[in-house]
Amino acid sequence: MHIVIMGCGRVGSTLAHILEDRGHSVAVIDQNPDAFRRLGGHFNGRRVTGMGFDRDTLREAGIEEAAALAAVSSGDNSNILAARVARETFGVEHVVARIKDPGRAEVYERLGIPTVATVRWTADQMVRRLLPKGSEPLWRDPSGNVRLAAVNLADGWVGHRLRDVEEATGGRVAFLIRLGQGVLPTRDLVIQDGDQVHLMMNESDVATVEAACAKGPEEH
């Protein structure tokens, strides 16, 4: 599988090595030829100097046979433009753009351009590690309407089925951690002591869901 990467900063160079180590062919584009020093001497892919949204530059990088493009330069506008050109002009199916502005990231996600909002993601990860368990979501969709969070279940839930939790909260159990192992549950799976349940819920229902989890099944 051939993959084109726009931007040879820390993210781009690291991504290039990860993909090449997994057996993919990789081309890296950067307008600054000195940036390719980050790739080191053992990188076997193409190094293409130019603008990552320029059609001729993309062709030189092999975009016409590429299965994917990652736009990870330092410029939001350049990344989005490169992603759109790759998808709309060359028909590349898998594209993703690195975006620093979380507001822009949500807009482009709604337009069908997958993005990674690095500032928001980093901030969320930091908050999750600073605040008590369950205070911040593990994942939030780009529109901000749906979140995935680890919920704190009252002891009274032990011995009840996961479907009871779903009926009481209105959420959906995505997975649980049992004895250190991830488990994809069925609705009839019985909750055991120590299970860490991860629930999908509407952002507007967070307070209601948390209250239902804390009360236990006897309250419903």
What are the extents of the domains in the chain?
2-122, 135-219
User: 128: pLDDT confidence band, cut at 50, 70 and 90?
Assistant: low
Best CA proximity match to 173, nearest among 164, 64, 1, 127: 164
pLDDT tens for residues 99-113? 888 777 777 777 777
For residues 91-100, average pLDDT:
92
Which CATH architecture does the domain made up of 135-219 adopt? 2-Layer Sandwich (3.30)
pLDDT at 220 over 50: no
At residue 175, the pLDDT reads: 96
> What is the percent of the chain with per-residue pLDDT over 70, rounded to a whole number?
92
User: 23: pLDDT confidence band, cut at 50, 70 and 90?
Assistant: very high
Residues 164, 168, 174, 177, CA torsion sign: negative
Rounded to two decimals, the pTM is 0.67
pLDDT at 11 over 60: yes
CA-derived radius of gyration, the chain: 22
pLDDT tens for residues 137-157? 788 887 778 999 989 899 999
The domain 2-122: what is its CATH number? 3.40.50.720
